[in-house]
Structure 1
Amino acid sequence: MSLPETDPPPGDAPSDNGTPAADEPHPLHRRLKSFVRRAGRTTDGQARAFAELGPLFLLPYRAEPIDLAATFGREARTVLEIGFGMGEATAHIAALMPETNFLCCEVHEPGVGALLKRIGEQGLANIRICAHDAVEVLDHMLQPDTLDGVHVFFPDPWHKKRHNKRRLLQGPFVAKLAAHLKPGGYLHCATDWQPYAEQILDVLEHEPLLRNTATDASGYAPKPDYRPLTKFENRGIKLGHGVWDVVFERR
């Protein structure tokens, strides 16, 4: 499929939603889908990480529920991350929260290799990677009411108005995420594109299973301490771009 002509997003853009050609219906209108396959070259270091660490940390997709305790080798809180890009934030957070398990979905092969490389370099044991569509992982591998958190950081903003319908965080997908959270579990989204932040806030506020944790009248949350400033975010801040965090809890 050909990529539509769009300006590059202002910040991070992990592979998180579909890329139909400009005259094709959006995947959300055909079949809910969480990713876009992007071109990229796997480096020698990433290839070595695949070979050496893939058998330990890659979780093959299968269309049946998994036992999270068996998958991670322990009973622990589990957070799902969707579209981790090159894994910089993922590895940082996993190192800060060794008591938490992180199940991470990303279909971009260089990104998967980069996170595997970080796992080896930092000695992380609490990450498992499923290189598959997060929607199918939610539908078939994860039971409802099993996740303690979901992270969706800097999804592709599709900032041209005619492409807004391609954004990942829309009602059907948010409902799916909410149903997989335990009561008290959280959904944390972050974006550096204000119109997308406004849409995310609106969609989450209309999901009956969720409630906003923000105390500020704007509805946006302060950046949680665990989320690092990535190099892209730092660059954006220097250019005067804002960043918006939205944190909701399952009722």
Structure 2
Amino acid sequence: MTELTPAPAPQSAATATAAATRTPGQAPTGVTHPKTIKSYVRRAGRTTTGQAKAFEELGPRFVVPFAQQLLDAPAVFGRNAPLVLEIGFGMGEATAHIARVRPGDNFLCCEVHEPGVGALLKRIGEQDLTNIRILQHDAVEVIDHMLAEGSLDGVHIFFPDPWHKTKHNKRRLVQPPLVAKLAARLKPGGYLHCATDWEPYAEQMLEVLSAEPLLQNTASGFAPQPDYRPLTKFENRGLRLGHGVWDVVFVRRN
């Protein structure tokens, strides 16, 4: 899973992933709403024929347009169900798995990398999934404009870009400002689940979430891997190379 760094907002064929660094600035040309957080980095990527076909056939149903108004989740999903936000789903492998094993939940998934959106749409069609909706937009703006406080039952942030160099740590997605936004939008008892294979980032996640007064750890430190989160090909490859994986799961206090 990748993440966003400061750069201009993407165009309609965005090829980037999400991050959350708070910076001042005005709206770019052609953007009607102000950006207080710029969170994009351009990444190379090519949409395959299968992904393009999925966009054409399934996009109108499963891709939700960004709007500066609160999301009507029951209308968008066609039902009332617990709502889980996922930030940065990469190519959608874990997302599709979780949606399949948790059919009673609705999953609102943010990703601006176009091949990744196409890949998840393709999985939706192949696996006949109905409980996923995609926002191809900056997750920070989605949180700010479309999600009311107390509207989420869960948040997933799996394998965001670790930004290994110390001088780049400030670009990491899991930072206090974003965590405060997410905590405010969780219902009491709702959960925030982060996972990473980079131990220094795992330690930062644990520190940042522990410092948020609205959140409480579900474990004494790192959490056992919840059974709904699958081992992806990326993760299995890391484990074969001797890399660890850390899960951090906190809940919103009552």
TM-score, normalising length: structure 1: 0.89
In the TM superposition, residue 17 of structure 1 has moved relative to its aligned partner by 1.8
CA RMSD of aligned residues (A): 1.4
1:203 to 188, 208, 211: 208
1:231 and 2:233 are equivalent in the alignment: yes
In the TM superposition, residue 127 of structure 1 has moved relative to its aligned partner by 0.2
Q: How far apart, CA to CA, are the structure 2 residues paired with 1:245 and 1:75? A: 29
TM-score, normalising length: structure 2: 0.88
Query: SS of the residue aligned with 1:79?
Result: strand
Tell me which residue corresponds to 2:95.
Answer: 90
1:110 and 2:133 are equivalent in the alignment: no
1:53 and 2:58 are equivalent in the alignment: yes
In the TM superposition, residue 20 of structure 1 has moved relative to its aligned partner by 4.8
Tell me which residue corresponds to 1:28.
Answer: 22
1:127 and 2:121 are equivalent in the alignment: no
Tell me which residue corresponds to 2:248.
Answer: 246
Tell me which residue corresponds to 2:31.
Answer: none
- 1:54-77 Cα shifts (integer Å, max 9, x gaps): 001000001111211111000000
In the TM superposition, residue 34 of structure 1 has moved relative to its aligned partner by 4.8
Name stretches of at least 5 consecutive residues in structure 1 with no aligned partner.
1-12
Q: How many residues matched?
A: 231
Query: SS of the residue aligned with 2:42?
Result: coil
Alignment of 1:169-208 (within 5 A): 169-208=174-213
Tell me which residue corresponds to 2:27.
Answer: none
**Which amino acid in 2 is paired with 1:210?**
L
1:18 and 2:1 are equivalent in the alignment: no
Q: How far apart, CA to CA, are the structure 1 residues paired with 2:103 and 2:182? A: 23
Q: Percent identity?
A: 71
Query: SS of the residue aligned with 1:235?
Result: helix
2:86 to 77, 81, 95: 81
